């Protein structure tokens, strides 16, 4: 191999500012761009949730600055009932698509998947750049809905037809805002499909010498499995959004049946089915839950192993469990539709695979717990967030027992029980994985350490705060508290308002605690202490790069050679109790 070819990466080192930081082909820069986008989206989504929580318990309180954002939706800063639902829709859409899909999967996956398999970049760097910028366009389209005619969309993040399909007759938020929502999601789907293809091609084709599939770390597997799920899921949501847009603007009737009288107008449609939208949406929507949580499972397992100084009881079993969950995720979408009017027999068909997901989820939890037994667990911000993840995963998981059973769903469907369930298992647990990943990989991404004291405070306050918010949701749901209400006026809801007040205080508190993280992130980026090359004494390839952050081609023109399974801990070696995957050293297990 000539000197040239050794040094030639898939693309040359960028020199101009634009190529280096804006339209970069470097997967690491793109990963950071995704992270930044997710951060912007999570801040926006969280602020929306604060406004909603404040409005729910102090309906007449003016919220500073909101009157400026929407004179119609919040005259004088006081949120109207319809604006509440518009904020709710934007909150859900931002969080599910732009935070939970982007941060654990696209951001960390982009940055670390190529490095962990010893590649110089993604298989298709240009596609990768296009993926990010397409996602960015989708984000801008969605946010622009705040500033158009009748404001943001109002159909919830699930966009149920025909409410979302018939147009402005259905009320505020059903005009251009709802169309922008459909277009934004459609564009997002295109970006996600490109990204998934890229992840799959990269994993299969660009592994370095010695990096067999079985030597890939758990988290690499998690990103790989997630991209397979994502490829199928977004491929269904994309045409669904296209059909919805056509129903809205081109007079088609995919989701609109005949004879609808909306606001005294007979709708000029016939022959469509609202259930078709639900089937298409949830065929994407349920796997989407695993698109958010599988990367977090991978991140947490990877970080825990390093901090326990031992491999999991079996990290392969965790990988098999992730595959099983990915497979089952396509057989359960109907459990969102038990009460939708689909054939009641099919409810049972969807219920059993849903309950069966408990088995791989339990195996993983038992393996995490069993691996903690007898370990030498190091407590740091990253490992604490991993422990928090396990706790949340269990808490959010057990409530799935209830909702998986159609008989119980009759009572709990569309109550706060569901809101509590998915916020814990899909929202908070996945975000805990993202926090763990941030504290763990920050030294690699920036060359500096994050502040551990701030990190631990951030963890403890977040753990307390998120439980204080989302645990009571379940009990509100058991009391029959309906979700997506902008005010609680019904006789049976009024007595529950004190609980909502407590939750609002907890939400404001938890949100404020995130400022600690933001301060830590910004301060450590510029003033953090210099990071050693391998601060956590971890074995995988991202810690074998010649510098932090790694050079543009990751390994400085070298091709790393892999000699070991990913997690050689608890051994006697020249480096201590671990052996890098790239080290040719043969070791024996410490007695």
Q: Give residues 200-219 in contact with other proteins (rule: CB under 8 A).
A: none
What SS3 state is found at 575? coil
Which residue of 62, 257, 511, 551 would you call a contact of other proteins, by CB under 8 A? 257
Q: Is 366 in the site for other proteins (CB under 8 A)?
A: yes
Q: Taking CB under 8 A as the criterion, which residues in 546-585 touch other proteins?
A: 570
Question: Looking only at residues 394 through 423 of this chain, which bind other proteins when binding is defined by CB under 8 A?
Answer: 394-395, 398-399, 401-402, 405-408, 410-411, 413-415
What residues between 83 and 112 interact with other proteins by CB under 8 A? Answer: 85
**The one segment of 186-194, 229-237, 255-263, 540-548 that binds other proteins by CB under 8 A:** 255-263
Residue 583 — φ and ψ, nearest 5°? -85, 130
Q: State the minimum distance, in angstroms, from the CB of residue 274 to other proteins.
A: 6
Q: Compute the least distance from the CB of residue 260 to other proteins, in Å.
A: 5
Q: In angstroms, give the least distance from the CB of 526 to other proteins.
A: 26
CA distances from 359 to 123, 229, 231, 318, 325 (A): 35, 19, 25, 12, 9
Angle, vertex CA 164, rays to CA 162 and CA 167, nearest 5: 95
Binding mask 27-56 for other proteins (x = CB under 8 A): ------------------------------
User: Binder to other proteins among 170, 319, 562, 579 (CB under 8 A)?
Assistant: 170
Is 32 or 332 the residue whose CB approaches other proteins more closely? 332
| Shortest CB 314 distance to other proteins, Å | 3
CA dihedral 474, 476, 478, 480 (to 10 degrees): -140
Q: Of residues 456, 501, 523, 563, which one binds other proteins by CB under 8 A?
A: 456
Instruction: Kindly report the backbone phi and psi dihedral angles of residue 588, in degrees, each rounded to the nearest multiple of 5, phi listed first.
Output: -115, 155
Per CB under 8 A, 3 contacts other proteins: no
Instruction: Write the burial class of residue 343 (CB in 10 Å: 0-12 exposed, 13-18 middle, 19+ buried).
Output: exposed
Does residue 78 belong to the site contacting other proteins (CB under 8 A)?
A: no
Q: How far is the CB of 591 from other proteins (least distance, A)?
A: 7
Instruction: Point out which span in 165-173, 433-441, 511-519, 545-553 binds other proteins (CB under 8 A).
Output: 165-173
Within 13 Å of residue 572, how many CA atoms lie on the same side as its CB?
4
Residues 286-345 that bind other proteins (CB under 8 A): 309-310, 312-314, 317, 339-341, 344-345
Q: Which of 382, 393, 383, 390 is nearest to 517 (CA)?
A: 382
The DSSP symbol for 445 reads H
CA atoms within 13 A on the CB side of 308: 23
Shorter beta-carbon distance to other proteins: residue 76 or 495: 495
Q: Which is nearer to other proteins, 362 or 547 (CB)?
A: 362
Cβ contacts of residue 18 below 8 Å, gap of 6+?
none
- Among candidate residues 135, 137, 170, the one with its CA nearest the CA of residue 156: 170
Angle at 414 between CA 411 and CA 416, to 5 degrees: 95
- Of 117 and 170, the one with the shorter C-beta distance to other proteins is 170
Among 23, 485, 502, 505, contact with other proteins (rule: CB under 8 A): 485
Q: How far is CA 178 from CA 157, 167, 200, 260, 581, in A?
A: 11, 8, 33, 19, 50
State phi, psi for 153 to the nearest 5 degrees. Answer: -65, 160
- 498 is a site residue for other proteins (CB under 8 A): no
């Amino acid at each position: 191999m000539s000197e040239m070819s050794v040094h030639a990466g898939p693309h040359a080192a960028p020199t101009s500012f634009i190529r280096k930081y804006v339209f970069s082909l470097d997967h690491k820069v793109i990963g950071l761009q995704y992270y930044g986008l997710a951060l912007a989206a999570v801040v926006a989504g969280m602020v929306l949730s604060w406004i909603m929580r404040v409005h729910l318990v102090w309906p007449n309180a003016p919220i500073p600055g909101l009157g400026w954002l929407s004179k119609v939706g919040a005259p004088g800063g006081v949120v109207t009932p319809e604006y509440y639902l518009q904020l709710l829709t934007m909150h859900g859409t931002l969080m599910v698509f732009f935070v939970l899909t982007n941060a654990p999967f696209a951001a960390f996956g982009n940055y670390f998947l190529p490095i962990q398999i010893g590649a110089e970049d993604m298989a298709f760097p240009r596609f990768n750049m296009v993926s990010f910028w397409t996602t960015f366009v989708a984000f801008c389209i969605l946010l622009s809905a705040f500033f158009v005619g009748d404001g943001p969309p109002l159909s919830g993040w699930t966009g149920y037809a025909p409410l979302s399909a018939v147009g402005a007759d259905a009320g505020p938020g059903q005009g251009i805002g709802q169309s922008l929502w459909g277009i934004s999601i459609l564009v997002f789907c295109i970006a996600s499909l490109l990204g998934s293809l890229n992840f799959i091609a990269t994993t299969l084709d660009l592994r370095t010498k010695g990096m067999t599939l079985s030597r890939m770390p758990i988290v690499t597997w998690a990103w790989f499995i997630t991209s397979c799920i994502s490829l199928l899921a977004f491929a269904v949501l994309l045409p669904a959004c296209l059909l919805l847009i056509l129903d809205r603007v081109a007079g088609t009737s995919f989701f609109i049946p005949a004879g609808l009288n909306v606001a005294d107008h007979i709708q000029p449609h016939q022959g469509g089915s609202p259930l078709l939208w639900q089937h298409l949406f949830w065929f994407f929507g349920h796997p989407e839950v695993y698109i958010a949580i599988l990367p977090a499972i991978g991140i947490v397992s990877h970080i825990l192993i390093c901090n326990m100084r031992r491999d999991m009881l079996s990290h392969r079993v965790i990988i098999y469990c992730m595959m099983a969950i990915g497979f089952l995720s396509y057989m359960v979408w109907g459990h969102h539709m038990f009460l939708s009017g689909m054939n009641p027999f099919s409810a049972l068909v969807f219920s059993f695979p849903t309950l069966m997901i408990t088995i791989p989820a339990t195996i993983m939890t038992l393996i995490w717990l069993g691996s903690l037994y007898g370990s030498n667990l190091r407590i740091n911000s990253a490992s604490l967030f991993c422990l928090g993840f396990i706790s949340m995963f269990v808490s959010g998981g057990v409530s799935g027992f209830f909702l998986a059973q159609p008989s119980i769903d009759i009572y709990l469907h569309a109550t706060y029980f569901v809101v509590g369930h998915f916020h814990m298992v899909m929202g908070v647990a996945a975000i805990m994985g993202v926090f763990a990943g941030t504290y763990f990989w920050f030294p690699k991404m920036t060359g500096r350490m994050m502040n551990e004291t701030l990190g631990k405070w951030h963890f403890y306050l977040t753990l307390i705060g998120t439980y204080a918010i989302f645990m009571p949701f379940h009990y509100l749901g058991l009391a029959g508290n309906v979700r997506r209400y902008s005010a609680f006026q019904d006789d049976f809801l009024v007595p529950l308002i004190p609980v909502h007040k407590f939750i609002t205080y907890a939400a404001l508190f938890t949100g404020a605690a995130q400022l600690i993280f933001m301060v830590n992130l910004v301060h450590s980026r510029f003033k953090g202490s210099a990071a050693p090359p391998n601060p956590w004494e971890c074995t995988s390839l991202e810690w074998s790069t010649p510098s932090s952050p790694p050079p543009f081609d990751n390994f400085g023109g070298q091709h790393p050679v892999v000699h070991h399974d990913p997690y050689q801990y608890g051994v006697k070696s020249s480096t201590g109790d671990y052996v890098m995957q790239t080290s040719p050293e043969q070791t024996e297990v410490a007695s």
